[in-house]
Copies of this chain bind each other. A is one copy, B any other.
Amino acid sequence: MADIDLATMRQAQQRIAPYIHQTPIATSSLLDQSCNCQIYFKCENQQKVGAFKIRGAVNAVFSLSVSEADRGVATHSSGNHGAALARAAQMRGIRSFVVMPDNAPTVKKEAVAGYGANIRFCEPTLPARESTLQRLIEETGANIIHPYDDVRIINGQGTTALEMCEQVSGLNILLAPVGGGGLLAGVAVAMKALSPRTLVMGAEPEQADDAYRSFRTGVRVTDHRPNTVADGLLTTLGTLNFAIIRRSVDDILTVPESKIVEAMKLIWTRLKQVVEPSAAVPLAAVLTHGHLFTDKKVGLILSGGNVDLDNLPW
């Protein structure tokens, strides 16, 4: 297996630099006052395709050999990875195929289509996604780029933390949302290398708490029936990600649905950032577990901003 470490992430950072944005850090003194801590928001909602997912996707697509690239790329995704892979393929000038659940938000379906992907819809379950993808691969010969359980993806997502360390130093805690675990695994490896005293924590909806339960029990949970407004965090923790998260993440915090909506509204109101519900889960963790953050310097990844404006959760 290829490596996931600081060296491979630095290579990924160089590889993807021409294709992605260096995203800004946002702060709010009013929000800091009300949370009793200093929060530095990494605005990956302003990233290309509106989510950090472009980092991993570009890293994967531009890691392919010419002959591999000729066969195109394929994936299943609830949306942001699909859009990111389609955009990355478009950047390299190769074909992409995306399997999407038929209940994905309209805005995400349109984004994937807009980047020129061939879309195939399926039932919103992991088995349906995987079997649909398998048939697609047999038909097309495309390279599967898994949304999160893939070395190239994890290295790509980890560059978020490399970039953040150049922008803010001395973080006591770094918080990232956890769904499939690609972002959390990547940033944990990066932070433990660059800033070993920074605690790395995942934030997850109570109603989609497979990573929390896996982390606590040491056994990867697969009987997962998530039901959360955070539509980007419905996926089950990947095996590769779980191994890294067990080793490098300090804790996983869960949050109730009401706090996700409250945090989302706070981010819109105070930071003027459009974020999707999944991106609000880390701030929801600060609101829910305030005592852990008092007087701390906290980094927080706003993972994406692809939300259906006609269907807001308030």
Residues of A participating in the B interface, judged by any CB pair closer than 8 Å: 24, 26, 30, 43, 45-46, 50, 107, 114, 265, 268-269, 271-275, 305, 309-310, 312, 314
Contact = CB atoms under 8 A, between A and B. Distances in A.
A167 to B, nearest CB: 13
A275 to B, nearest CB: 7
Given A24-B24, A273-B274, A274-B274, A268 B46 contact: no
B274 A50 contact: no
Contact of A309 (B50, B310, B314): B314
A268 B310 CA distance: 12
A86 to B, nearest CB: 13
Contacts of A26: 46
Contacts of A310: 314
A92 to B, nearest CB: 16
Given A24-B24, A46-B26, A272 B305 contact: yes
Given A310-B314, A314-B309, A269 B46 contact: no
A314 B43 CA distance: 25
B272 A46 contact: yes
Contacts of A46: 26, 271-272
Contact of A272 (B30, B269, B275): B275
Contacts of A30: 114
Contacts of A271: 46
A273 B43 CA distance: 11
A26 B46 CA distance: 9
Nearest to A264: B309
A272 to B, nearest CB: 4
B268 A309 contact: yes
B265 A309 contact: yes
Contacts of A43: 272
